[in-house]
A = this chain, B = another copy of it.
């Protein structure tokens, strides 16, 4: 009666540092790699037969060996190489996600890790096709003005005051998927990543916000307009509320100067922006 539904398995969060030391000026890539495989895996679920189950330990070893042999040209290229490798036999679909955290150079061989953000690459190999996506995790932004919120419906549980000037802050998790033609690998992933990141920041800064939904739609739209190779972009944004502190009891006004930064609850705004024709 019970049947196996959708399933996958793999080694998650292999954390590797790859050093390139061909010259006195070392390079360092800091990667956390997660693999998820699926395919003809009924036997292991129903009978405990592991004949089709490439051990997650082997996957871990493979990540290390590939880091040595092929290096990390881009996280996307590295993920794709691994995903294609794991396909075959019972494995008909392989998903590899790479999170890279940046290190800033201090000297030829010393570095500091200045950023909270991670660059993300996610590649799915499925039969003959290979699908590429890229993203950013933890892009934190805040604006101190040029953000309004009003015109929302008022029901019996509404107490929020309308405002024409508030702090808008979020920590963006962004992912974008490349169009079919881009799959062929003729994308400059490094340049695209840097360009998308700049565009997201510039748009956040420039758009006069009437709602976080509007801001993130504009951010996504700007990316699609600039990058033909991107088919769609998804943004997930906690509205990190900054509440104006009421200082009136102390005989003080507070014209947008002192805010309490709340942890929870938070608004969570999520949208995908896609090409008309995709």
Which A residues contact B (CB, under 8 angstroms)? 1-21, 26, 28, 30, 34, 36, 41, 44-58, 60-62, 64-65, 67-69, 89, 103, 106-107, 109-117, 139-146, 149-160, 167, 201-202, 204-206, 209-211, 213-214, 216-217, 220-221, 224-225, 232, 234, 238-239, 242, 245, 247, 249-252, 254-261, 263-276
Contacts and interface: CB of A to CB of B under 8 A. Distances in A.
Contact of A9 (B15, B117, B150, B267): B267
Contacts of A239: 56
Contacts of A234: 5
Among A160, A167, A258, max chain B CB count under 10 A is at A258
Contacts of A106: 141, 201-202, 204-205
A49 B217 CA distance: 13
Contact of A275 (B3, B141, B273): B3
A160 B56 CA distance: 9
Given A2-B221, A107-B206, A110-B142, A211 B261 contact: no
8 contacts: A2-B224, A2-B275, A5-B274, A12-B266, A28-B144, A36-B268, A51-B153, A110-B144
A7 B217 CA distance: 10
A201 B112 contact: yes
B167 A272 contact: no
A104 to B, nearest CB: 10
A159 B259 contact: no
Contacts of A47: 210, 214
B264 A15 contact: yes
A28 B106 CA distance: 28
B5 A103 contact: no
B157 A15 contact: no
Contacts of A143: 109-111
A103 B201 CA distance: 13
